[in-house]
Amino acid sequence: MTTIRDYHERTKHSTASLRANRHSLDWDIQPLPFKIYPGLDPIALPRDLAPSPVAALDAIAALAPHRPDRAVPDLRTLAHLLHRSAGITRSRTYPGGHVMHFRAAACTGALYHIDLYLVCADLPDLPAGVYHFGPHDFALRRLRAGDHRAALVEATAGAAAVAAAPALLICTSTFWRNAWKYQARAYRHCFWDAGTMLANLLGVAAADGVAARVVLGFVDAAVNALLGLDTQREVALALVALGERPDGATGSHPPPQPPLALETVPLSTREVDYPLIRAAHTASSLATTAEVRAWHAAALGQAPPSAPAASVPLRPLAHPPDRSIDDVILHRGSTRRFARAAISFEQLSTALRSATHGTVGDWTAAPGRDGVAEPYLIVNAVDGLAAGTYVYHPASEVLEALRVGEVRQAAGFLDLGQELAADAAVNVYLLSDLERVLERLGERGYRVAQLESAIVGGKLYLAAYALGLGATGLTFFDDDVTHFFSPHASGKSVMFLIAAGVPARRARGG
């Protein structure tokens, strides 16, 4: 068994594993939800951010064309992208004076362990450099001066999107900020929470007319060193190439990159180590540009699956809501209770189509169409579609019925026995044929399966709110989900779950 397969098996949820786990939250060592560099001066980002006129559903599906005037994003455009993907959108004060800051994208346990870094050329109002984004004060801090994009071009083996990008964002995770609650399973959450954040980022970039492409093929050590990360605690997960510089010039050599020794505020007085996380990350890392080049060659060119003989075609809304992506993000919450009310098949069709459209990354041309994330549905209450289980085929935009009949009780068990999935109108599970993915993409394929599933799930999240519905991400009993959708899902692994429906109580807005 490979290291990554061993990690996946050992972090599965089951009724037995939950009974055996005696973990409890130690509030005395709850980690700080921000990475703070006390010795670096903040560069304030513009706060007067104009919303995009592009409808959210079009933005989620990446249907808006790239704008020539956004080929090189300026500071205000970057501020818009950063705020709507990782910024603070509302705060709440609890008894005792504790203030909770909620961010733009959904995150497991609201622990916010994903950070964003910016590597850019000289932009219209920002000098070239390597920067960290601080959500706590909505500011950038410069870690390195100069244009270091050539280091990322080299680390990605000359990826075309990276070579042409005047700006790149890098997602990282600080393990402890999530492992405090979720222990070793936090490595899955690295990609879940990066994925929901990237769903926001890609949607806003599309609305702003900025080209954006996710890159997972890179030499890990090179990217981590550029950012000065302590890789025992924090690692790079994904790159996002932003814009399309006309000349594509990144320079042949980056400036010198001496090791960074920058002070950061301690997250807590003590941290608990989970070696299984680091083992999984090390096993799925790429060490040389030759490995990256070979990985890219293996990643692309997968043919989409054929449509089933018996299927139900989607029936999207003829006139979907035109609510903006900004409005959706600023008022999005996690639905805590669903009414047992039906949504329409047209609403479901619109959400599925939007979430599985749009170019995402260097491992596939379009998620869901020739990607590795396969949407399986539990339908509880959808007018125009019989209750039961389905699998969605994005390439042909049809639903294949697996089993027709009442499934609420099963839905309420599979999400660790919570009522949310039983009450929701629909549950969408993203499954992946992990053995096939690992065979084709090596152990790094695990990152692909988790991240693509989370991006599609995050886009479903946004689409639900754009349609006036509610949604929430949930966890699950791994093997029970596979068994429930079998024989069709036999051998596949569940990566992500999102429930959607009519909220019983509206989430408080931004």
Mean pLDDT of 15-44: 96
Name the pTM for this structure. 0.96
Computed over every residue of the chain, the mean pLDDT equals: 93
> Of 180, 33, 47, which Cα lies nearest the Cα of 100?
33
Name, of 127-131, 357-361, 368-372, the range with top average pLDDT. 127-131
pLDDT at 268 over 50: yes
Domains (range + CATH), the chain: 26-299 (3.40.109.10), 312-501 (3.40.109.10)
d(C-alpha 448, C-alpha 284), whole Å: 10
Which secondary structure element, helix H or strand E, spans residue 293, and what is its range? Answer: helix 289-299
Q: How confident is the model at residue 247 (pLDDT cuts 50, 70, 90)?
A: low
Q: How confident is the model at residue 508 (pLDDT cuts 50, 70, 90)?
A: very low
* Per-residue b or e along 246-266, where b marks 16 or more CB atoms closer than 10 Å to that residue's CB: eeeebeeebbeeeeeeeebee
Mean pLDDT of 160-167: 95
Listing DSSP states for 156-219 in one string gives TTS-HHHHH-SEEEEEEEETHHHHHHHGGGHHHHHHHHHHHHHHHHHHHHHHHT--EEEE--S-
pLDDT at 366 over 80: no
pLDDT at 507 over 70: no
d(C-alpha 76, C-alpha 353), whole Å: 31
| Cβ contact 130:119 at 8 Å | yes
pLDDT at 309 over 70: no
Percent of the chain clearing pLDDT 70 (strictly above)? 94
d(C-alpha 77, C-alpha 408), whole Å: 44
Name, of 53-62, 175-184, 239-248, the range with top average pLDDT. 175-184
pLDDT at 509: 43
pLDDT at 252 over 90: no
pLDDT at 510 over 60: no
pLDDT at 197 over 90: yes
pLDDT at 307: 63
Q: Which two tokens stand for residue 330?
A: 């600023």
Mean pLDDT of 293-309: 73
pLDDT at 147 over 80: yes
| Cβ contact 501:378 at 8 Å | no
pLDDT at 328 over 80: yes
| Cβ contact 59:52 at 8 Å | yes
Q: What angle do CA 174, 179, 184 make, to 5 degrees?
A: 110
d(C-alpha 482, C-alpha 490), whole Å: 6
Distances (CA, A) of 197 to 114, 155, 181, 357: 9, 23, 20, 17
Q: Express each pLDDT in 439-463 by its tens digit.
A: 999 999 999 999 999 999 999 999 9
pLDDT at 320 over 60: yes
pLDDT at 155 over 70: yes
Mean pLDDT of 147-164: 96
Identity of residue 443: E
- For tokens 């808006």, what's the residue? 64
Q: How confident is the model at residue 308 (pLDDT cuts 50, 70, 90)?
A: confident
Query: Who contacts 494 (Cβ-Cβ below 8 Å, separation ≥6)?
Result: 429, 430, 431, 476, 478, 481, 482
Q: Rg for the chain (alpha carbons), in Å?
A: 22
Q: Which residues are registered as beta bridge partners of 131?
A: 118, 142
Q: Which two tokens stand for residue 497?
A: 């779950």
Identity of residue 398: V
> Of 470, 453, 253, which Cα lies nearest the Cα of 341?
470
Q: Which residues are registered as beta bridge partners of 472?
A: 499
> Of 343, 338, 333, 375, which Cα lies nearest the Cα of 356?
375
pLDDT at 44: 97
- For tokens 């009993």, what's the residue? 477
Mean pLDDT of 42-66: 91
How far is C-alpha 445 from the chain's CA centre?
16
Percent of the chain clearing pLDDT 90 (strictly above)? 85
Q: Which two tokens stand for residue 56?
A: 């959210």
Task: Provide the phi-psi class of 400: left if phi over 0, else alpha when psi is between -120 and 50, else beta.
Answer: beta
pLDDT at 96 over 90: no
411/366: higher pLDDT: 411
pLDDT at 296: 93
Q: Which two tokens stand for residue 475?
A: 């966890």
> Of 418, 422, 420, 399, which Cα lies nearest the Cα of 471?
420
- In this predicted structure, which of 116-125, 241-250, 287-296, 478-487 has the lowest mean pLDDT? 241-250
For the beta sheet containing 388-393, the strands, ordered from the edge strand earlier in sequence to the opposite edge, are: 312-313, 398-404, 388-393, 374-379, 426-432, 493-501, 470-474
pLDDT at 166: 96
pLDDT at 496 over 60: yes
Question: Phi first, then psi: what are they for 340, rounded to 5°?
Answer: -80, 65
pLDDT at 82: 98
d(C-alpha 284, C-alpha 278), whole Å: 10
> Of 87, 170, 83, 159, which Cα lies nearest the Cα of 131?
170
Sign of the dihedral through C-alpha 43, 44, 46, 52: positive
pLDDT at 184: 97
Q: Which two tokens stand for residue 344?
A: 């329409």
Q: How confident is the model at residue 67 (pLDDT cuts 50, 70, 90)?
A: confident
Q: Which two tokens stand for residue 95?
A: 């008894």
| Cβ contact 4:283 at 8 Å | yes
